[in-house]
Structure formats: structure tokens, C-alpha cells
Structure 1
Amino acid sequence: MVEIKRKDLETPARAGTIASLSVGEVAERAGVAVSALHFYEREGLIRSWRSAGNQRRYPRGVLRRVALIKTAQRLGLPLARIAEALATLPADRPPTAADWRRLSASWRDDLNARIASMAALRDQLDTCIGCGCLSLDACPLRNPDDDLRHTGAGPRLLP
């Protein structure tokens, strides 16, 4: 395996080669907007450097990091949690299958809890009349913590 040093990637002769990618190339290949890449970079999820021509350049491994970010977002993970996970990965290489197994295992319990919560919510839909009322005798969907429901239906003005 040939080791490519960062200074080699920054030279204008290498700027358009496969060793590094422009922000547009990453956006197209990863299927995300350029603005999303800029946001991920501001949040510290990915890194780039500037070429001699002041263009943002990314290592090819960023494609795998972006795929990991997008998958984690589809799981419903907040960016802070994704950032914590990415911080455990070496910055000098793309995430591996072993990295993914470790990260996804750490997210499994949270995902299972959210699945159980959504299943319970689904199962309670039949009891909801969907009116948006906040004080039915029993409304675990709209307002599960409504203590005033025991005093009757209807809105209450709080002091």
C-alpha cells in the first residue's frame, strides 16, 4: 500500500486526482448537498484542507464517513451522538467494517428502545379520537402527563 502524505495531496498537480476530492465531487458521490458537507465540517464530523488554489479538498475516505453519518441520521441519532462516535475513529483512515460493527452495536439498545416506544404508540392509536384535546380522561398519545385530566375535560388556565 502506498502511503500518501497530506502535503502531496495539497499540490496543484494532485488536486484533481483520485487522491483527493473537491466538495462538489464528494457531494455528488455521497448524494448530499454541498451545504450539508459544510455543516458536517463545521460540526467537526468531517475534515478538509485547502489546496494551493484555496479549494476545499477531501480525502477519499470522507465518502465512507459521510455514509456513516447519513446512516446514523436515518437511525434517528442526534448529531452530537454521531460526533461522539466519529471521535473514536482514527482521522487518518476511512471507517472499516469492524468500526461500523462497534459503533452500530453501541446504538442498538437506543434503537430498540425507540422501536418499542413507537410500537406502543402505534398500538395506542385506536384509542385516540384525534381531536387534539389535551384533557381527555385517558390520552396517552397527545398528553400523557396531564394531571388535570382527573378534574374533567377541557382546557385549564394555569395561574
Structure 2
Amino acid sequence: MTWDHTAVTCLILSVLSPASAPVSPSAVSLDLDIMCPIPHTDLMQLLTSFLLVFLVADGPENTLLTISPSKHEHVKGSDVQMFCSAVSSPDASFQWFVNENPLPDTGPELRLMSVQTHQSGSYSCQTFNSKTLRYETSQPLALSVIGESEKGFTFQWWNQNTLHTAAN
């Protein structure tokens, strides 16, 4: 198959310009010497690379934070896992926050082993797509760690970023 370089230029320009603004090859100056004939294999590689980046990069969207076990209060010393997910292409990277302060943890899972009462707070995750350069932050999720005291139980919970404590 042979390619007419004018037709190829028009094809590339039609992909790059809106349908309402047709562009003539002679009216555009590109850094690449696109007006000269391009070998078939180079052209296909160029178009494939362009179209893959153009069509595939998307997101992140629908960033969701879940907790396991899914209950309102977690007993001091128990293990808690949080999971962050998002629709993103390419895959998103992750950053975790507690009370809007960044944590050193990255990745889609946050494991809190043997949780302590001081770890109670409002957790969220932020997703980032390196191709679209977009961020999205999940809705915050409250983690309440309750502990035992010598006289009974001490309950702690977070409400609107305020720690409340009640003793039994």
C-alpha cells in the first residue's frame, strides 16, 4: 500500500483540529516535516502512538475509599485495612491522608496493624493520573478506635474533625 503524503497530512490535521474548523495542509506549519512523504511503518507507528495517548488517557474518576472490617468502631489492637480505587487509564497512583495531612503510604491499600486510639481520624485517599495530570480525592471516611481502660471501656469517636471521648 502506498500513502499520498497530502492525504496523510490532511488525516493528521483532521484528528488534531475540531470538525468545525477544517484546516488546509498549506495553512499549517508544524515542527515535524510532515509535508514530506513518510514511510508506511513510521507513519503507522506515529499514528498509533498518537491515537493511543489521545484515546486511552482518562481519569481518575469515581475515586472510592472503603474500609475492612466495615464497622463504625474498631477496638484498640485490631487490624484495619482501607482500600482506594479509581477508574483511570493509565492506572492511577495513590496518596493517603489523615485529617487532611499526608501519610507516607502510597498504593491502593492502607494497612493499619494493631490500631491505637491516636489513629482515630478522618481518612481519605487522592488518586493521580500521570498522563492526564488530574487529581481526585475520595470522600473522607471516619476511623474510630475505641480502647479499654482499667475501670471499663473508653469510647472515642470523630465527628466533624473533633475527637469525643466517653468513659464507662
TM-score (norm 1): 0.25
Instruction: Give the greater-gyration-radius structure (CA).
Output: 2
Which has the larger share of strand?
2
Structure of greater relative contact order (alpha carbons < 8 Å, 6+ residues apart): 2
Which has the larger share of helix?
1
TM-score (norm 2): 0.24
